[in-house]
Amino acid sequence: MAIDLLRVLHLAMRAGDYHQEGDVTSMADVTSSTLQILLNARETLNDAEARHDR
């Protein structure tokens, strides 16, 4: 989970760079990657909770 957080922070920094450069396509790619990481982390947490509740 900590690795996911580091990846999201790294992508956020890259998005800032792309924003300054005006690179909209790369900003969209980074945003999409970030959302996928967050959705996967959420799914992992939900699975862990479901196993814990059994």
pLDDT score for 21: 93
pLDDT score for 52: 87
Instruction: State pLDDT tens for residues 14-29.
Output: 988 999 999 999 999 9
- Residue 6 falls in which region: left (phi positive, over 0), alpha (psi -120 to 50) or beta: alpha
8 contacts 38 by C-beta, under 8 angstroms: yes
Which among 7, 13, 43, 38 has a CA at the least distance from the CA of 26?
A: 13
For residues 45-54, average pLDDT: 87
